[in-house]
A = this chain, B = another copy of it.
Amino acid sequence: MSKVLMKGNEAIGEAAIRAGCLNYFAYPITPQSEVAEYLSRRMPEVGGVFLQGESEVAVGYMIFGAAGAGARVFTTSSSPGISLMSEALSYIASAQCPAVFVNIMRGGPGLGGILPSQGDYFQATKGGGHGDYRLLVLAPASVQEAVEMVMQAFPLAEKYRNPVMILGDGLIGQMMEPVEFPDHLKTEPSNKNAWATNGMDTRKSNTRNLVKSLFLDPDVLNSHNLELRAKYERMQMEDVQYETFNIDVDYVALIVSYGTQSRVCRTAIENLKQEGIEVGMVRPKTLFPFPLIPIREAASKVGCRAVMSIEMSMGQMVEDVERAVQGRCPVSWYGKCGGDVTTPEEIMETVRKTIA
């Protein structure tokens, strides 16, 4: 298939359909309402369901309902909307249902602004909702990657029976880029008969499946939580994704950055190379599981004097970078949060100061 020029939000909607997801429930919020607009037209064409819930709280539970019945389902929202889904996210994770949540982040906290941000890193990677659970979090840096990650997200959600979040900044949603869609996913979830509610239809399954998050017995709840923990450790072993840049040279500093911010960092790194300053970069593509080992190794390289977490937030990923680096180098943060993306010049200046 050839490339088409598409806005990120629309490409995300189309990608979900090609991933075999025919159920989309959402409540509009800037800067990702175009997904809903696109799918309100597109879902009926492919026999799918578009449903606007009466609030994000309701949408969260609609997702739970559909996922619990074994249907592929997803929603898209932006920062405050995701907060309203926090309780449902915790329920879905506890009940081990696969579902995909897309958060096209806007500036926060509160109403904040409607321009791009990465301010929801903590919310996405550390839980947001209550209790011991994790989301598998994918962070695209281009429209093409957003499409691919949406299409990965459904099989990953089904592999782990866990919600997956696509964490994109507003630029991902709003910019137009040429995009090529992978082939349609062909299969439906292979294992759903084993766990999803099936209306007691014995043609589908001989088991009476029960989807729930209530475990009143403390031993049972502890075992359940250990099972979840084992799953999150398995993610850490099997599904860490990251990309490196300029890592084969002898660099004096290492940047860790993700999403569209990392594209600006690339430009800064290329420019600094012209000045004779070598800087490496590790870009996490999964924010949870976080590429702790690759960053630790990159920070341990002889000659590396500083690690910088460059974020469109006020110092969130930097905590995971600190955990990765384990004191091998000084770790610092640089960033902005409000809508403006840090420029290559600002990054270059920060690198110069940091290594000075």
Contacts and interface: CB of A to CB of B under 8 A. Distances in A.
Nearest to A116: B218
Contacts of A128: 83, 86, 123, 127-129
B229 A314 contact: yes
Number of copies: 4
Interface in A109-146: 109-115, 117, 119-120, 122-123, 126-133
A278 B112 CA distance: 50
A295 interface: no
Contacts of A313: 132
Question: Could you say which of A58, A117, A320 has the most chain B C-beta atoms within 10 Å of its C-beta?
Answer: A117
Contact of A122 (B57, B112, B126, B221): B126
A222 B327 contact: no
Contact of A225 (B54, B90, B226, B338): B338
A228 interface: yes
A130 B83 contact: yes
Interface string A9-42: 0000000000000000000000000000000000
A322 interface: yes
A223 B314 CA distance: 11
A82 interface: yes
A222 B271 CA distance: 26
B115 A94 contact: no
Given A132-B314, A314-B225, A337-B221, A109 B90 contact: yes
A216 interface: yes
Interface residues of A, number: 73
Nearest to A314: B132
Interface in A88-103: 90-95
A129 B81 CA distance: 10
A336 interface: yes
Given A57-B84, A222-B339, A226-B314, A90 B110 contact: yes
Given A123-B128, A315-B229, A87 B90 contact: no
Contacts of A301: none
A79 interface: yes
A224 interface: yes
A296 to B, nearest CB: 9
A82 B86 CA distance: 9
Contacts of A339: 218, 221-222
A140 to B, nearest CB: 19
A238 interface: no
A228 B314 CA distance: 9
16 contacts: A51-B51, A54-B54, A83-B87, A91-B111, A94-B112, A107-B225, A113-B217, A113-B218, A114-B216, A120-B130, A122-B122, A132-B316, A215-B338, A224-B338, A322-B323, A323-B323
Given A54-B58, A220-B338, 18 more contacts: A54-B54, A79-B130, A80-B91, A80-B130, A90-B109, A91-B110, A91-B111, A94-B108, A107-B131, A110-B212, A123-B129, A123-B130, A132-B315, A221-B339, A222-B338, A223-B338, A229-B315, A326-B326
